Amino acid sequence: MENDNINDEAKNLTVSDDISKKVKELENRIAALEKKDDHLTMVLFSGDFDKAMAAFIIANGGIAMDMKVTIFATFWGLDVLKKSSFDTAGRGFLEKMVLAMRPKGSGKLGTSKMNFGGIGPKLFKFMMKRKNIEQLESLINMAQEYGVRIIACQMTVDLMGLKLSDLIDGIESGGVGAFLASSSHSNTTLFI
Amino acid sequence: MENDNINDEAKNLTVSDDISKKVKELENRIAALEKKDDHLTMVLFSGDFDKAMAAFIIANGGIAMDMKVTIFATFWGLDVLKKSSFDTAGRGFLEKMVLAMRPKGSGKLGTSKMNFGGIGPKLFKFMMKRKNIEQLESLINMAQEYGVRIIACQMTVDLMGLKLSDLIDGIESGGVGAFLASSSHSNTTLFI
Amino acid sequence: MENDNINDEAKNLTVSDDISKKVKELENRIAALEKKDDHLTMVLFSGDFDKAMAAFIIANGGIAMDMKVTIFATFWGLDVLKKSSFDTAGRGFLEKMVLAMRPKGSGKLGTSKMNFGGIGPKLFKFMMKRKNIEQLESLINMAQEYGVRIIACQMTVDLMGLKLSDLIDGIESGGVGAFLASSSHSNTTLFI
């Protein structure tokens, strides 16, 4: 009987031990799922001043809430990240033409509504200053300083005849896979 | 031996008890994660008639599926929520000018395509009526009646020279933090 | 005492057994939650060439990463899926007019920026060819071949005077409920 008793004990311990391990494993998987609450991934497709404002206000809001923020900039969204000047010597004719027609950087963007040939953004900047709202350039700087990860879509960088060095510093380049790897672990995903 | 036996029993009970508590805790955490399936959070950035239609059709669809729906209206999305008339006396010159140029409420919005100086929305409303599709005003009313939470972005309300009382009743005001608190617990998140 | 001992054993086994079942149930629920990482649901609202490109590049990226991809096409997004020609005989006057004014299929879309009366898309197609980027038609074909589920919004199909047979083959029709059923099990949700 003592023997039986020892066997029982062994059995119980084994069962408990297996379950404990399993429960620990499940807890880790739950923690990984919960972490998505704190991840925010945005596609910045638009190069409109107002949409870029929205994207970077949300990004900085995320940072303020301790979230991990990733911005995947593609197509016209690259306009937002351009340096205010860069040399296009040595690029093809079409690339030069497209680059010449697109705004260079966050200071030159038009608005999606009420642009009025460029007066719209100036008006909004003036109104924003009066209301003590951070300007787009400051929002981008803050985002980068506080660790927002900005990925420039390599395919559209190539397509637009851009080089990574034409964009402000601290931008990674990556493909749609980099976006999806981030978005599939983010609870908040937006296409702006 | 009896003593040992009692110790074993105590040990087994403790292990089981701890595990039971842990399992219960994990179950609660899983239930919280599952609840996100039923949450839908949208940014309504656009003031276009067709995009506002899409947002409120999705919102009412969510309600029909017992989802908890939150709309965070910002920038031009505020146009959708304006009362059809309100007094702008006492506002600054720029605010008055911007307010004068923006449509007042859901009945005055243009479409993003085929607007034709305002004929587009009329055409669509006519076609919608013939197909028995709810009009935008009804969709907004229904959404509010069935508990869709609508938050007006305080920053853009201020920026546009608006007051919360210029918007239809039942709208909260809040910041980007309110949006992120909602979106980070929502499985479906959209920027419209 | 032996009796007690047997009781203890029975009790321990029962506790372990219940917990095992519960743990198994929780594991299944966690696995269901984890599956959302691999699901991607997009609303394709826009009929712009560049936005449609973005949607189908993301869709094919998802496929490459073994994701389950659903596209819910609504409003102007239906333009992207139209056959390049179809007969509008027998439709009402307004429907015919709207259909006549909208582009027929992915080969006829304009860009959201730099359209220049239709030169923009031609320019981009030329630049894309030079950079070996897949054309939109190929991206749509690939997406369909590799199992991207495309749902045409029944309400807007009706509204625009379309029939499902006017769209390319292999498109389902469905309502906003079909979209929400998919999005609420997808980690990445985008409105394009």
Taking the CB of residue B64, how many other CB atoms lie within 10 A of it?
Answer: 14
Interface residue B133 vs chain C (CB under 8 A): yes
The pLDDT, as a whole number, for residue A48 is: 94
Q: Which of A101, A46, A107, A103 is nearest to A73 (CA)?
A: A46
Residues in A closer than 8 angstroms to B31, CB to CB, are none
Interface residue B99 vs chain A (CB under 8 A): no
The radius of gyration of chain C from alpha carbons, rounded to an integer in Å, stands at 25
The pLDDT, as a whole number, for residue B12 is: 54
The pLDDT, as a whole number, for residue A80 is: 96
Report residue A191: phi and psi, to 5°. Answer: -115, 110
Averaged over B143-168, what is the pLDDT?
A: 95
Q: Provide the whole-model pTM.
A: 0.89
Averaged over C22-35, what is the pLDDT?
A: 94
Residues in B closer than 8 angstroms to A112, CB to CB, are 76
Report residue C152: phi and psi, to 5°. Answer: -90, 130
- Per residue in B13-71, pLDDT (tens digit) is 556 678 888 999 999 999 999 998 899 999 999 999 999 999 999 999 999 999 999 99
What does chain B come to in residues?
Answer: 192
Taking the CB of residue A7, how many other CB atoms lie within 10 A of it?
Answer: 11
Q: Which 3-state string (H, E, C) describes chain B?
A: CHHHHHHHHHHHHHHHHHHHHHHHHHHHHHHHHHHHHHEEEEEECCCCHHHHHHHHHHHHHHHHCCCEEEEEECCCHHHHHECCCCCCCCCCHHHHHHHHHCCCCHHHCCCCCCCHHHHHHHHHHHHHHHCCCCCHHHHHHHHHHCCCEEEEEHHHHHHCCCCHHHECCCCEEECHHHHHHHHCCCCEEEEC
Residues in B closer than 8 angstroms to A62, CB to CB, are 180
- Per residue in C143-180, pLDDT (tens digit) is 999 999 999 999 999 998 899 999 999 999 999 999 99
Residues in A closer than 8 angstroms to C58, CB to CB, are 43, 176, 179-180
Long-range contacts of the stretch B17-21 (C-beta < 8 A, 24+): B19/A16, B19/A19, B19/A20, B19/A23, B19/C19, B20/C15, B20/C19
Residues C129, C119, C113, C85, Cα dihedral to 10°? -80
Interface of C with B in 60-89 (CB under 8 A): 74-76
Residues in C closer than 8 angstroms to B50, CB to CB, are 45, 75-76
Burial C11-50 (b: 16+ CB within 10 A, else e): ebeebbeebeebbeebbebbeebeebbbbbbbbbbbbbbb
Disruptive mutation site among C180, C188, C190 for chain B (greatest number of B CBs within 10 Å) = C180
Chain A contact partners (≥3 CB pairs within 8 A): B, C
Q: Report whether A102 contacts A160 (CB < 8 A).
A: yes
- Per residue in C109-156, pLDDT (tens digit) is 988 887 777 777 887 788 888 888 889 999 999 999 999 999 999 999
Taking the CB of residue B93, how many other CB atoms lie within 10 A of it?
Answer: 8
Interface residue C98 vs chain B (CB under 8 A): yes
Residues in B closer than 8 angstroms to A127, CB to CB, are 94-95, 98, 159
Report residue B82: phi and psi, to 5°. Answer: -70, 145
Taking the CB of residue B10, how many other CB atoms lie within 10 A of it?
Answer: 10
Sequence-ordered list of residues with C-beta below 8 angstroms from that of C28, at least 6 positions apart, any chain: none
Rounded distance, CA A172 to CA A174, Å? 7
CA distance C167 to chain B (A): 20
In chain C, % of residues over pLDDT 90 = 59
- Per residue in C97-109, pLDDT (tens digit) is 788 888 888 888 9
Task: Test A22 with C19 for CB contact under 8 angstroms.
Answer: no
ipTM, two decimals, is: 0.87
Interface residue C113 vs chain A (CB under 8 A): yes
- Per residue in B74-104, pLDDT (tens digit) is 999 999 999 988 888 888 887 887 888 888 8
Averaged over C55-71, what is the pLDDT?
A: 97
Residue tagged 């509010």 (tokens): B144
Closest chain B residue to A63, measured at CA: B177
Rounded distance, CA B145 to CA C106, Å? 40
- pLDDT tens for each residue of chain A, 192 residues long: 455 555 555 555 556 678 888 999 999 999 999 998 899 999 999 999 999 999 999 999 999 999 999 999 999 999 999 998 888 888 888 788 788 888 888 888 988 887 777 777 887 788 888 888 889 999 999 999 999 999 999 999 999 889 999 999 999 999 999 999 999 999 999 999
